[in-house]
């Protein structure tokens, strides 16, 4: 059986699909999966052993109408339609993903599967599916995706813990005990104040660990350099690919993360990690895996699910929901997992 799954973005959402794909691969021998994904996350599907072909899209770039993007889009169509599928699963549940999935060719008895209209925000997307699966919305994204696949393919949701099928950690092989600080994230309201990151770095180094930070853009690089400025036993990595970061994280002793894709990668690897949540809801999108601990802010309006904080002013420059978090408590919680 050949299946196309459509999960375009973001990094955490793409990683959330892996346990459902693992469930599916355990139900069918000889399963072959192609995965449609945004080009910036194209390395991630390759990590799952069931995935044969990664088909990339560039929806943001394609919004600019020019000859280069037109050629790129038609090249995508040619690659996508070079294969017929028994089943196409839209695991994103958006209009854009439903439309892109519709371009795929089906076998004569093939099906297009997706969430029912009342299970997703963009209800009209369900009109593109021949089989619609009702999945309650107020539950974790990983659970929703496992239910989508089980309902779509006709098996019971496994009672096992989510398995990403990422390479298992076999113990640290870095030169010194190492803790990653995963500070980079997209929403303004997900950022932990820099002073808390600095305090964490100092505490971790004082206890004999090396602190490592990575970055994905210039702003994140500046923040990382500020956090470790003047500290010994601290390193800001050079610009790294997602696969390179996966290798580094797999060898580390632990990590502290905000709500970020790399936090979900740490969870998938089974790396001990403390993840911090302010504006977002850990119950719905928290990092799930072995050795994971969530810290949800107790601030009155948390989780607000807003990308911009209305309480940020010229005087209050960082989300107040994180101000109450204590660096010592955060490090102690991780230290107890890894010491």
For the domain made up of 2-153, the CATH class stated in words is: alpha beta
Topology adopted by domain 178-338: Rossmann fold (3.40.50)
Neighbours of 67 (CB within 10 A): 7
For 222, which DSSP code? Answer: H
By C-alpha distance, which of 311, 313, 282, 312 is closest to 297? 282
By C-alpha distance, which of 276, 299, 263, 314 is closest to 196? 276
- Kindly give the pairing relationship between strand 178-182 and strand 210-213: parallel
Determine contact, residues 140/284, Cβ cutoff 8 Å. yes
SS3 assignment, position 13: helix
Cis-peptide into 84, omega within 30 deg: no
The Cα-based distances of 259 to 220, 283, 288 in angstroms read 15, 12, 12
What residue segments make up the domains of the chain, in order of their start?
2-153, 178-338
Q: Which residue has the tokens 């069931």?
A: 50
Per-residue pLDDT of the chain (339 residues; tens, 9 = 90+): 999 999 999 999 999 999 999 999 999 998 999 999 999 999 999 999 999 999 999 999 999 989 999 999 999 999 999 999 999 999 999 999 999 999 999 999 999 999 999 999 999 999 999 999 999 999 999 999 999 999 999 999 999 999 999 965 555 556 789 999 999 998 889 999 999 999 999 999 999 999 999 999 999 999 999 999 999 999 999 999 999 999 999 999 999 999 999 999 999 999 999 999 999 999 999 999 989 999 999 999 999 999 999 988 888 888 888 888 899 999 999 999 998
DSSP collapsed to 3 states, 47-77: HCCCEEEEEEECHHHHCCCCHHHHHHHHHHH
DSSP collapsed to 3 states, 235-292: EECCCCCHHHHHHHHHHCCEEEECCCHHHHHHHHHCCCEEEEECCCCHHHHCCCCCCE
User: Rounded to a whole number, what is the largest CA-CA distance in the chain?
Assistant: 65
By C-alpha distance, which of 105, 92, 279, 123 is closest to 186? 279
């Amino acid at each position: 059986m050949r299946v196309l799954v459509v999960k375009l973005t973001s990094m955490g959402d793409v990683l959330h699909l892996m346990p459902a794909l693992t469930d599916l691969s355990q139900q069918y021998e000889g399963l072959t999966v192609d995965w449609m994904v945004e080009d910036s996350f194209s390395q991630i599907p390759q990590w799952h052993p069931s995935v044969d072909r990664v088909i990339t899209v560039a929806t943001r770039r394609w919004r600019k109408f020019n000859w280069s993007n037109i050629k790129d889009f038609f090249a995508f169509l040619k690659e996508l339609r070079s294969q017929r599928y028994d089943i196409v699963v839209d695991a994103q549940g958006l209009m854009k993903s439903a439309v892109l999935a519709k371009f795929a060719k089906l076998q004569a008895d093939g099906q297009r599967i997706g969430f029912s209209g009342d299970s997703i925000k963009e209800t009209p997307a369900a009109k593109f599916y021949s089989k619609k699966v009702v999945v309650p919305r107020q539950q974790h994204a990983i659970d929703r995706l496992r239910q989508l696949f089980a309902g779509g393919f006709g098996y019971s949701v496994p009672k096992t813990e989510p398995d990403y099928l990422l390479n298992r950690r076999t113990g640290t092989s870095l030169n010194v005990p190492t803790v990653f600080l995963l500070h980079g994230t997209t929403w303004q309201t997900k950022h932990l104040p820099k002073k808390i990151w600095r305090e964490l770095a100092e505490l971790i180094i004082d206890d004999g660990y090396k602190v490592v930070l990575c970055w994905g853009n210039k702003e994140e690089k500046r923040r990382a350099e500020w956090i470790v400025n003047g500290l010994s036993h601290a390193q800001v990595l050079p610009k790294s690919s997602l696969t390179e970061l996966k290798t580094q994280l797999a060898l580390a002793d632990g990590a502290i993360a905000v709500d970020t894709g790399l936090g979900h990668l740490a969870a998938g690897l089974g790396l001990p990690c403390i993840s911090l949540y302010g504006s977002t809801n850990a119950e719905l999108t928290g990092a799930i895996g072995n050795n994971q601990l969530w810290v949800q802010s107790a601030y009155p309006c948390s989780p607000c699910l807003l990308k911009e904080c209305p309480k940020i002013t010229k005087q209050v420059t960082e989300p107040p929901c994180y101000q109450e978090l204590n660096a010592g408590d955060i490090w102690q919680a991780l230290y107890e997992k890894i010491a």
